[in-house]
Amino acid sequence: MPLKIAVIGAGIIGITSACRILDFFPDASITIYAETFSPDTTSDVSAGFWEPYCISPEQAGPIIKWGKETYDIMLKESLSENADKFGIQALSTYVLQDTEKPKVPYWSDIVRQFRLLNKEDIFSIVNESNQNFKSGFSYLTTTVVVKKYIPELTKKLKDKGVNFISCKINTLQEFINGNGSTYDYIINCTGLGARNFVPDSNVYPVKGQVLRVKAPWIKQCIMLDTNEVTYILPLSDVVVIGGTQQPNNYSLNKDETEFENIINRCSKIYPSLRHAEIVSTHAGLRPCREGGVRLELEVLNGVNNKKTKVIHNYGHGGSGVTISWGCATNVAELIEKDSKCPKPKL
């Protein structure tokens, strides 16, 4: 019998999980439940930038594994005929630091073209700035327009018969006691909602604000590894400038003062940004979790003690795009191992 699977959540984590499950189990019957769909998910607000960010480094091993798979996929797609349709591009990134000794990230071995910057490199990047950066590194990364990417993946899923249901599910137990008991597996991709849905008190928000501006002359990513969160990230259609990082701030209200601060900081790197046309402003809540990503199989009791298998996939912080495909493969592997259904050999 084909597996019957429910995915709860339709952000980048839920959508990639469904895609990868179908790769492993082409005959699976999948239904995706969500209260919001693209372009209204948390993922749609994200800068779509590949780099492990706002996520627990205690999980360095899994993050490297998940991140490498995602990086390789995104890089391949950036060179494919689908690059424009997906809004994916590869470009150089420069991370500037104010310490004499460069801080090398734990994931440096999995990216291409990684190298430390010398003083001449730094000067060539910030020669219009008076800021005193002392070290840094560069590497090849990818950016993706999530508002293009998720709809394209969604279309593929619909073409393969995946059902999408718009509804609000208050708690996991409520779902298990009802329609959820009919599924072989429930994939929990509820992001920040997992705090109440599971419930999991380790889940908390980190508020971020960004602006999208027209600045087609900017062709490289700049990130400042300093006390203030600052980045300039070209996408295929706009440039994202940011940002903020406010733990346990649940407000989605836009703080205009923060936007002014972002413009001021980014304009110190590129003075031309001060007069760039603002396309849109955004505030979002990164779904962080104490202890990092929760990705595991749990068996819960439903009505009449019926066992229901749940695979949790949440707590990705600011790295949802960065580790999405790797985590999705991990989900499919858990199903494969538990169901004893081997992945078909192509």
Residue ranges of the binding site for FAD: 42-43, 190, 317-322
Which of these, 228, 234, 218, 235, lies nearest to 272 by C-alpha position? Answer: 218
Classify residue 227 as exposed, middle or buried by CB count within 10 Å of its CB (0-12, 13-18, 19+): exposed
Helical (H) or strand (E) element with 17? helix 12-24
Binding region = 42-43, 190, 231, 286, 317-322
The amino acid occupying position 64 is I
- Measured over the CA atoms of residue 248, residue 251, residue 257 and residue 259, the dihedral's sign is positive
Radius of gyration of the chain (CA): 21
Q: Is 222 helix (H, G, I), strand (E, B) or coil?
A: strand
Say which DSSP state 168 is in. Answer: -
Binding region for D-dopa = 231, 286, 318
Which of these, 77, 50, 83, 82, lies nearest to 66 by C-alpha position? Answer: 50
- Measured over the CA atoms of residue 97, residue 46, residue 239 and residue 257, the dihedral's sign is negative
The amino acid occupying position 61 is G
| Dist CA 31 CA 51 (whole Å) | 30
Which of these, 309, 33, 43, 6, lies nearest to 192 by C-alpha position? Answer: 43
Q: Is 175 helix (H, G, I), strand (E, B) or coil?
A: helix
Coarse DSSP helix, strand, coil percentages of the chain, rounded to the nearest 5 percent: 35, 30, 35
